[in-house]
Amino acid sequence: MLTKINHIGIAVKSLNDALPFYRDQLGMAFLGTEEVAEQKVRVAMLQVGESKIELLEPTSEESPVAKFLEKNGPGIHHLAYEVNDIEAAIAKLLSDGARMVDEKPRKGAHGARIAFVHPKSSVGVLTELCQPGH
């Protein structure tokens, strides 16, 4: 069902403040920034081999990332696994009794379709299914 780790999401207070560490000090390839209105975040994507790092900055106090930052401070927010058929992956998880945040795919960064498994169903790790848009 899962093909690889697509990206690791990291919650940050400011993309401008966090980017230099990843892009300049660690030397990751910077793929650009994008606002994902539906998720109330602005994201910066960086490539590491076949996976990506997604820096997440909240755009509103109601953003799930704002709530996370308030509670935990900056740090690893979610793990995103790539799938070829997101509807089938959601159906499989639901039929196995998992609690989904999203029972239907939503729009993620770079035209991907995404769905989150609730952290209470995934041993405390917010888990994203991600079907790339290309």
Q: Where does this chain bind ligand CMX (CB under 6 A)?
A: 9, 36, 39, 41, 43, 54, 56, 64-65, 67-68, 71, 77-78, 101, 108-109, 116, 118-119, 124, 126
If DSSP codes are grouped into helix, strand and coil, which group holds residue 58? strand
Residue among 28 and 117 whose Cβ is closer to ligand CMX: 117
Residue among 34 and 87 whose Cβ is closer to ligand CMX: 34
Per the CB < 8 A criterion, the answer to whether 89 and 82 are in contact is no
Pull the structure tokens for residue 48. Answer: 């590491």
What pairing do the DSSP bridges indicate for beta strands 2-11 and 75-83?
Answer: antiparallel
Nearest distance in Å: CB 58, ligand CMX: 8
What residues pair up with 48 in beta bridges, in sequence order? 51
Nearest distance in Å: CB 109, ligand CMX: 5
Which residue's C-beta sits nearest to ligand CMX? 64
If DSSP codes are grouped into helix, strand and coil, which group holds residue 29? strand
